[in-house]
């Protein structure tokens, strides 16, 4: 009897030891009891960000091409100071922090506050408005807590997740939920923006830039926005996948100040049920290629109009945004494995991830005072300019980069593509300049703007 009592006491002692041990939960039963261990591990790496943005205190007339001259010397205008509050995640012991571009991208002064109340000044190493990501460096940051990045391509719908941030400025807050969806696309943009992890973990204003972590405390995404009519969380929160964040960190560490995306040089459409039936496909999948630029690396890899791209690096792609995201994750300078479907035959091809080539050379030129439109800056349309100004892939002609003092007054805008003058096709900047050194004539400029053809008539 005494022996049994001793065994019972030992078991009680061992049980007490297991209960008090601090570790990440290892099973569903442990998770159902508490998230405390996960939060204790991850929360110190999630920071609050206070950013000051100074904007010119001007009316809209200051940017108007006609009225700006009238307001040029109109008194002293006080700048407007705006304060932005958001969250961020430390990704290295040396103080590399990721946040949203809309939190810090235009800031002139950034203060980062850790959960232990330490404060650091920070500067932006790399920012990208399109992806809404920014990489910061804390000044004097050493031996800081940080989160490990998990392969977000292995995240599954239904996984338990936690969102950590600073909603409404009330202080660090943790909310729980699950992964509700993957590969969410909410933008028609050709960029990686629009590809998100969806969660029902409550995300509110101030959570932007905060962490979405899994049950092991690893980062799977950066909370960025919510879909809501009221402005509050309705259970549809969106996070930028951690794999894209990793590419941002890599480029920032290599000294880049702008995020470079691989250029595809192709256009395509998602395959729905009707299109799949017309193509003889049993299941709708992939992206049907509708246009390929002559300088595209996809063309060099033998991908043509009418082909179907089904996978990039062995991961399914079902929209052009998803394909661009996979390319961004593959990284600049690498060769991605692209799966092509042609005539019912599947083939894997290696496609180089390249920058948009400046080919033919864009040859930027600014018109001088001897012309009718001095200060008008023009260039030849090529892949580099197509990507920069989001032009149609088939665009060709002369691009308006800056309108100068008088170009805006006659109706030209930055990003216009000049197709011709007086009904004649214009292929070089010299052709355009030649027409505008002769005065006293009526001139018609044919141009492409927002994928629509327009004509401007003026007397020079």
Distances 385 to 377, 394, 414 between C-alpha atoms, Å: 13, 12, 12
Number of neighbours of residue 412 by Cβ within 10 angstroms: 23
Say if residues 52 and 108 touch (Cβ distance below 8 Å).
yes
Can you state the angle between helices 242-253 and 320-330, rounded to 10 degrees? 40
Say if residues 393 and 381 touch (Cβ distance below 8 Å).
no
Distances 149 to 212, 240, 294 between C-alpha atoms, Å: 11, 12, 38
The residues annotated with a catalytic role in the active site are 102, 132, 208
Say if residues 292 and 266 touch (Cβ distance below 8 Å).
yes
Strand 266-270 to 96-99 pairing: unpaired
CA atoms within 13 A on the CB side of 158: 2
Distances 323 to 169, 190, 241 between C-alpha atoms, Å: 36, 9, 14
CA distance 61 to 57: 12
> What is the signed CA dihedral for 212, 213, 219, 225, rounded to 10 degrees?
-10
CA distance 53 to 104: 8
Phi and psi at 273, nearest 5°, equal: -65, -45
Number of neighbours of residue 74 by Cβ within 10 angstroms: 11
């Amino acid at each position: 009897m005494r022996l049994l009592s001793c065994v019972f006491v030992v078991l009680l002692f061992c049980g007490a030891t297991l209960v008090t041990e601090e570790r990440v939960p290892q099973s569903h039963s442990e998770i159902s009891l508490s998230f405390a261990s996960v939060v204790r591990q991850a929360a110190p790496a999630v920071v609050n960000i206070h950013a000051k943005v100074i904007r010119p205190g001007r009316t809209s007339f200051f940017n108007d091409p006609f009225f700006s001259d009238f307001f040029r010397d109109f008194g002293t205008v006080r700048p407007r100071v705006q304060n932005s509050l958001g969250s961020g995640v430390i990704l290295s012991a040396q103080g590399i922090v990721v946040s949203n571009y809309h939190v810090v991208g235009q800031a002139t002064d950034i203060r980062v506050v850790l959960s232990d109340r330490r404060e650091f000044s920070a500067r932006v190493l790399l920012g990208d408005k399109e992806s809404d990501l920014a990489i910061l460096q804390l000044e004097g940051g050493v031996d800081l807590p940080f989160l490990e990045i998990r392969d977000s391509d292995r995240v599954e719908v239904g996984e338990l997740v936690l969102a950590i941030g600073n909603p409404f400025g009330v202080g660090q807050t943790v909310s729980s939920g699950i992964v509700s969806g993957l590969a969410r696309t909410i933008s028609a943009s050709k960029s990686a923006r629009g590809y998100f992890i969806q969660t029902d973990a409550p995300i509110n204003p101030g959570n932007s830039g905060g962490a979405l972590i899994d049950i092991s405390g690893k980062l799977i995404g950066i909370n960025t926005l919510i879909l809501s009519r009221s402005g509050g969380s309705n259970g549809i929160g969106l996070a930028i996948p951690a794999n894209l964040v990793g590419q941002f960190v890599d480029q920032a560490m290599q000294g880049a100040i702008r995020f470079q995306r691989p250029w595809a040089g192709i256009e395509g459409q998602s395959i729905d049920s009707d299109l799949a039936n017309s193509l003889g496909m049993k299941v709708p999948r992939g992206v049907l290629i509708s246009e390929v630029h002559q300088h595209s690396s996809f063309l060099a890899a033998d991908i043509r109009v009418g082909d179907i791209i089904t996978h990039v690096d062995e991961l399914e792609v079902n929209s052009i945004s998803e394909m661009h995201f996979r390319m961004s994750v593959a990284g600049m300078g690498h060769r991605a494995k692209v799966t092509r479907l042609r005539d019912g035959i599947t083939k894997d091809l290696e496609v180089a991830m390249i920058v948009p080539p400046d080919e033919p050379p864009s040859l930027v030129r600014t018109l001088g005072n001897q012309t009718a439109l001095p200060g008008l800056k023009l260039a030849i349309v090529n892949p580099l300019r197509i990507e920069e100004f989001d032009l149609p892939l088939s665009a060709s002609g002369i691009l308006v980069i800056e309108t100068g003092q008088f170009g805006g007054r006659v109706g030209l805008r930055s990003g216009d593509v000049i197709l011709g003058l007086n009904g004649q096709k214009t292929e070089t900047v010299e052709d355009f300049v030649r027409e505008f050194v002769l005065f006293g004539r009526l001139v018609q400029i044919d141009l492409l703007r927002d994928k629509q053809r327009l004509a401007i008539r003026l007397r020079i």
